[in-house]
Amino acid sequence: MRVLKEKMNTPFFHIMCQGINKEYIFSSEQDKIKYMKIMEKTKEEIKIIILAYCIMNNHVHILFHEKDTKQITKYMQKVNLLYAKYYNKKYERVGYVFRDRFKTQPIYTERYLCTCVRYIYNNPVKANICNHAKEYKYSSYSQNKFYTDTPIERKIRKFICGEEVQEEYNEFVLLEDEQNKKQIHEEIFEELLQQKNITLKDLKNNKELLAKLVKKLKNDYKISFRSMERMIGIGRETLRKMI
């Protein structure tokens, strides 16, 4: 199981863990409900804040609000161990249930945080399982439960409920200085590639998709053409002409 780095300049982490060999490990309603119950019970024991989650057939997304990364690792280890014991017993099997490493995405900007929430809840919509995130029973979309009422939790609560957010919460500040901008931009770019299920090489050969992604990086994330040139490997003037 992966252990997160202890010091990261953000309390927000997007975790994705997947079934071994990408197999279906939440194929039945009973399986998904079992994982949800284990998540809830373990959350009470470890006292960790989960802002959003969604359980699909072969993977799960979880968005944490936790400064101590050791707590996240501890939580994921316990939840997945308990579920693996249940799964192996139910299906009379032995061996690993989850891949050996869960993917982690630290989140440094408010814009990216809300994008992550939208991405997590829209997983079943993109998979054509339902028409709207609120229809999916195996996510936290309708629960909207938080331990506290901090500015960011109020904002996400409004976002989840579909309300338009006009307020600016000055209390909520994530570090986005020059030192970590490069890392932030790379993480955003990698996440977008994963969402599109495409490699950098394939992206560069797909001019239409490349243009859309460049426009999104510029307009939604305010990433400079200089940074995009470094990440994509295409000259900034060429990228600028795409939008």
pLDDT in tens, 4-36: 454 557 888 999 998 988 889 998 999 999 999
Superfamily of domain 12-141: Transposase IS200-like (3.30.70.1290)
**Going edge to edge, which strands form the sheet with 103-107?**
49-55, 59-65, 12-18, 103-107
User: For residues 105 and 99, what is the distance between their CA atoms, to the nearest angstrom?
Assistant: 17
The band of 157, judged by pLDDT with boundaries at 50, 70 and 90, is low
Compare 174 and 159 and report the one with higher pLDDT.
159
8 Å CB contact between 15 and 55: no
The band of 155, judged by pLDDT with boundaries at 50, 70 and 90, is low
**Could you report the per-residue pLDDT of 65-106, keeping only the tens digit for each?**
888 889 999 999 999 999 999 999 998 998 899 987 788 888
> Which residue stretches of the chain are H helix?
29-46, 69-90, 110-121, 123-126, 151-160, 178-196, 200-204, 207-219, 225-232, 236-241
Strand, coil or helix: what is 92? coil
- Predicted TM-score of the model (pTM): 0.66
User: For residues 54 and 136, what is the distance between their CA atoms, to the nearest angstrom?
Assistant: 9
User: For residues 47 and 24, what is the distance between their CA atoms, to the nearest angstrom?
Assistant: 29
Six-digit token string for 110: 């408010």
User: Residue 137: what residue type?
Assistant: K
* The pLDDT of residue 191: 74
